Amino acid sequence: MKTEDLIASLASQARSRKASPMLWLAGLTLSAVLVAVLALVGTIGVRPDFGIAISSWRFDYKFVVTLALALSAFVVVRAGLYPESSARLPLWVLLAGPGLLLAGVIAELLSLPGGAYAMSAVGKNAMLCLTVIPALGIAPLVLLLAALRQGAPTRPGLAGMCAGLLAGGISATLYAANCTDDSPLFVATWYPIGIAGLAIAGGLLGRIVARW
């Protein structure tokens, strides 16, 4: 086909009715949160002493860490939607979650006696944590990958991985409302495993579904 003919045929369909990818991302992220909330409430629910737990810094700090992860991943995914910003993704913002978690771990190590470290890290809900975080994150990940398809990511694998981190941030935030292990040592030991699983799945799937 000659390039002039291609231009002529494309020009006849000039008008675009597609919504902006940012609108898709916002809508699908909200849907992802909603789906994950319904899944949590419909299955294991929030912990019975939620109202009392809120007054403990350890409980609240879990949300500081997981929300920091979710927000920073959202910023990167948003940049990944556009070709011109895909090449210079602000990946450094992803340090927010791990950085805050590290600060929490240091505070915990200073406030607990040495003998209590292992017990706090191992906790009681490790298996539940390893199951629930990936499980709650699957549907959000699918929705976020659908949002990436509406954009034009020139690094689909990396964008998919960040979508996985965002899905992980959402599911970890919700799981934190159920989990009775509040120590930053527990969070640092178990949460990253499930979240990393979602990030890897997002990266692999992104390379396939977000290409264009």
Partner 1 sequence: MGLDEGDETGMASLMRAALAGDESAYARFLGIAAVRVRAVARRKLGSNGSVAPEDIVQETLLAVHLKRHTWRKGEPILPWLMAIARYKMIDAFRRNGTLRTVDIDDLAEILPAPETQNEHTQRREIETALADLSEGQRRVVRAIGVEGKSIHETAGALDMNETAVRVAFHRGLSAIAAKLGRRT
Q: Which stretch binds partner 1 (CB under 8 A): 34-42, 84-92, 106-114, 193-201?
A: 84-92
Residue from 33, 138, 142, 152 binding partner 1 (CB under 8 A): 152
User: Taking CB under 8 A as the rule, does residue 19 contact partner 1?
Assistant: yes
Does residue number 151 form part of the binding site for partner 1 (CB under 8 A)?
A: yes
The CA distance from 74 to 190, in Å, is: 22
Quick one: 125 or 154, whose CB is closer to partner 1? 154
Q: Is 20 in the site for partner 1 (CB under 8 A)?
A: yes
Interface positions, 103-122, toward partner 1 (CB under 8 A): none
CA quadruple 204, 95, 193, 170: dihedral, nearest 10: -80
State the Cα–Cα distance between residues 79 and 88, nearest whole angstrom: 8
* Helix and strand totals (H; E) in the chain: 10, 0
Q: Which is nearer to partner 1, 8 or 116 (CB)?
A: 8
Nearest to 69 by CA among 98, 105, 29: 98
DSSP class of residue 64? H
Q: Which residues of this chain interact with partner 1, rule CB under 8 A?
A: 1, 3, 6-8, 10-16, 18-21, 81-84, 86-87, 151-152, 154, 212
